[in-house]
Structure 1
Amino acid sequence: MPQLVGVAFFVLIASILLQRFKQPSLVAYLITGVLLGPRGFGLVTDTTTIARLGEVGVVLLLFFAGMELSLPELKKQWRIPVLGTLMQIAASVGFVAAIGWWMSWPVGRIVLLGFVISLSSTAVVLKLLHDRGELNGPVGRDVVGILLAQDIAIIPMLMTIGFLAGSSPSPMTLGIQLVAGVCVIVLLGFIASRDSIHIPLAKWLRGDRELQVLAAFALAFGLAFLTGIAGLSVALGAFVGGVVVGAARETEWIHDALYPFQVFFLAVFFVSIGMMIDPRFVWNRFPVLFALLLAVLVTNTLVNGVILRLLGRSWPNSLRGGALLAQIGEFSFVLAAVGRQTGLIEDFAYQTTVAVIALTLLVSPTWIRIAELFRRKPSGPYTARRME
């Protein structure tokens, strides 16, 4: 508890200071994690508890995103999420394959690292879109659709990594994951075909604040828990839960009940990400890490930008969509850990991968601002508001 209170205090101070420099709160959270973590000043040592509490924030963030997203509108633009994600994964693996061929990497390592850089951060992108009111705009729908497809793609990625490492899940595990995936798709299809749905007992909750908070937590974490035990992404379940609530048009009281919790626990999540950055490791290998960081950001921006352009978006707006998806996502930490456990990458490569992932998350808001400078004028299917 004292460490959690300390985290909250330092997050508040860092946020106030960085606000004066017009930096988003996300940067303050990450820097706080770097400074307070065991690799920084060591004021927080129980990183496991901090990380688990942070997962609550991710669940709530995805839940809120699902509430605000219009599924019927997303359904009309299915080509962007499905084709865009497939093309992006293929391009990322191809890019790493070119490097791996030159460095004589085994196939397993090439595929693993290709998967790692292909995933974007759902938490970072959704927060940036939400803070700027663009979540349900055309650019937000495109990017969120791709992020959702990436969450679904994590399962076949893990199975592929296991196969390349010489291990694979049992037929029962595969069957459970398949059934759960089909159920999620059917539920989303049902919601997309309806103007609205009815949540039982919702009318009985509107006058009772305590019941509202309890019911909101049950809705937010219920589907997340079910998809988690089925072997799917917890974030995917939280998102679907939010979509259900949004379709039922019960968002106002649920938003009021959960939003304060989301703000706090999401800050804790980003602090936990910051704690993964080892300042000494970064300092000692800064030239290499900086080159890798720049290569990842430029490559992901261009790859995603070109894909969005091929799928009908204008160049300026495709570039912004690519910049939003340029960072490496939090689920890539999971893929990297699996790669180390299965022997596809050694410990040094794992530490380098973790450092690059965390650094892309740290500089993502600044990178998006830089990409904005290259946009000549808003045009095309969607018009993004100027970054604040």
Structure 2
Amino acid sequence: MILASIESNPFLLKFVTIALGIVLIGLLLRMLRQTHVIIYIITGVIVGPHVLGLVSDSELISSLGSLGLILLLFFIGMEISLKKLVANWKISVIGTVLQVIFSVLAVWLIGKYYDWSLARVLTLGFVISLSSTAVIVKLLQDSGEIDQPVGQNVLGILLAQDVLIVPMLIILSYASGTPTTATEVILQIVGGVLIAALMGYLLHKKTIRLPFHKLIKKDHELQVFFAFGLCFGFSAITGFFGLSTALGAFVAGILVATAKSTSWFHNSLFSLKVIFVALFFISVGMLINVHFLWDNLFVILSLVVIILLANNLINTLIMRSFKMSWNDSIYAGALLSQIGEFSFVIGNLAYFNEIITDYGYQLIIAVISLTLLLSPIWINLSKRLTKHSFISEMQSKRI
């Protein structure tokens, strides 16, 4: 009877496998003081189609995992100060634009030697310029640094990158010969204006009252569905306008924070957030083709190291140009050094439009996945080095 139930619901056994994998691998890696991000990615590698093959529905896991990114941004919106975020707009906007420009220029210099097309240069430049919202926000939350100046500046850049993903996709579509329609562009402009107007309204209002506030506050079950509907409702709206769904969830979180209702929203959705964020990183691990990685190990590892160092340097110099201390600049640069989850979208579009070959696409997936996997270690190393660096000694002597 039990076996028949399992056979009738094939997803049940797969989710049990994932849960047990997280527990067993987590117990081992937590003893080695590794973060949950690494635990989830390694779990995805092991249970995924390229190793044990226990879970092969990578598209299903990826779809569920994308909900984790939405929930993560919703929680961040509830926790940050909108006034602080707006006050740092120069770092968010100018810093992000400079970061993208320098990344594209670096790829263009390499592309001149290999005679790459403009479309390929833009693709690779855009890919390496985007950082991971999911990884960085999770690490900043775990370390309690999300409200610190470094955390706020880095978060501002991440949000600006989420906005820039739309024009990036439009530019690549034109570069590949398949331009975005006028209707899509108009929708995106209208969506951007509406979000800006709502953010301006929330910035002006000190507090707002959510509909049915008193009734929902006393009913825990209604709270779950109201919070769920608000978070994913805003995501669906921004998705309709062709903007990032995660950006919509972030705006919804700010709306909740302005209404001073973050406590019961947090309690209602926290468990769901943990599960879906884990599924997101597991889906990243499932993308790693171990056989392709092994066959091209030297090339992939070389690219990973070069990209981490280059992104760290570019972002450090940008942060330093906005008068952040060297220690904070280096640490912020490390936080932004990995390649982000939205780069998968850019790589997929480029592959679909034949801008890159199958080998190039597999290489992009492997490099992105490894930078996400190694990012917590890289960031922790940078944090320790800046604490005990020559710069720290010089600053302490001045004091």
TM range (shorter): over 0.9
Structure 1 counterpart of 2:285, from 274, 299, 303 = 274
1:285 maps to which residue?
A: 296
Q: Is the 8 A contact 2:78 2:256 kept in 1?
A: yes
1:152 maps to which residue?
A: 163
Q: Does 1:54 align with 2:54?
A: no
1:358 maps to which residue?
A: 369
Q: After the TM superposition, which of the residue ranges 143-152 and 129-138 deviates more from structure 2?
A: 129-138
Length-normalised TM-score, structure 2: 0.93
Q: Does 1:118 align with 2:126?
A: no
Q: Does 1:108 align with 2:119?
A: yes
Shift of residue 87, structure 1, vs aligned partner: 0.4
Length-normalised TM-score, structure 1: 0.96
Q: Within 5 Å, give how 1:48-197 maps onto structure 2.
A: 48-197=59-208
Shift of residue 373, structure 1, vs aligned partner: 3.1
Q: Equivalent residue of 1:304, what SS?
A: helix
Structure 2 Cα separation of the partners of residues 135 and 144 of structure 1: 8
Q: Does 1:348 align with 2:320?
A: no
2:340 maps to which residue?
A: 329
Shift of residue 343, structure 1, vs aligned partner: 1.2
Structure 1 Cα separation of the partners of residues 337 and 198 of structure 2: 30
Percent identity of the aligned residues? 43
Shift of residue 371, structure 1, vs aligned partner: 1.0
Structure 1 Cα separation of the partners of residues 326 and 298 of structure 2: 31
Shift of residue 77, structure 1, vs aligned partner: 1.2
Q: Does 1:374 align with 2:385?
A: yes
2:7 maps to which residue?
A: none
Q: Equivalent residue of 2:50, what SS?
A: coil
Q: Does 1:31 align with 2:42?
A: yes
Shift of residue 377, structure 1, vs aligned partner: 6.0
Shift of residue 193, structure 1, vs aligned partner: 2.3
Counterpart residue type for residue 215 of structure 2: W
Counterpart residue type for residue 214 of structure 1: F
Shift of residue 287, structure 1, vs aligned partner: 0.7
Structure 2 Cα separation of the partners of residues 20 and 48 of structure 1: 31
Structure 1 Cα separation of the partners of residues 291 and 133 of structure 2: 28
1:8 maps to which residue?
A: 19
Q: Equivalent residue of 1:375, what SS?
A: helix
* 1:87-138 Cα distance to aligned partner (Å, 9 max, x none): 0000000110111111111111001100000000011111001111111221
Structure 1 counterpart of 2:261, from 215, 236, 250 = 250
Shift of residue 173, structure 1, vs aligned partner: 1.2
2:319 maps to which residue?
A: 308
Counterpart residue type for residue 74 of structure 1: L
Q: Is the 8 A contact 1:316 1:374 kept in 2?
A: no
Q: Let me know the Cα RMSD of the aligned residues.
A: 1.3
Q: Is the 8 A contact 2:69 2:246 kept in 1?
A: yes
Structure 2 counterpart of 1:298, from 304, 309, 314 = 309
* 1:65-84 Cα distance to aligned partner (Å, 9 max, x none): 11001001111111110110
Structure 2 Cα separation of the partners of residues 70 and 377 of structure 1: 31
2:218 maps to which residue?
A: 207
Structure 2 Cα separation of the partners of residues 69 and 224 of structure 1: 18
Q: Is the 8 A contact 1:64 1:239 kept in 2?
A: yes
* 1:264-320 Cα distance to aligned partner (Å, 9 max, x none): 111111000000001111111111111000011000011001000001111111000
Larger proportion of helix: 2
Q: Is the 8 A contact 1:4 1:50 kept in 2?
A: no
Structure 1 Cα separation of the partners of residues 256 and 151 of structure 2: 19
Structure 1: stretches of 5+ with no match in the other structure: 381-388
2:235 maps to which residue?
A: 224
Q: Is the 8 A contact 1:316 1:377 kept in 2?
A: no
Q: Equivalent residue of 1:350, what SS?
A: helix
Shift of residue 376, structure 1, vs aligned partner: 4.0
Q: Which runs of 4+ in 1 moved over 3 A?
A: 376-380
Total equivalences in the alignment: 380
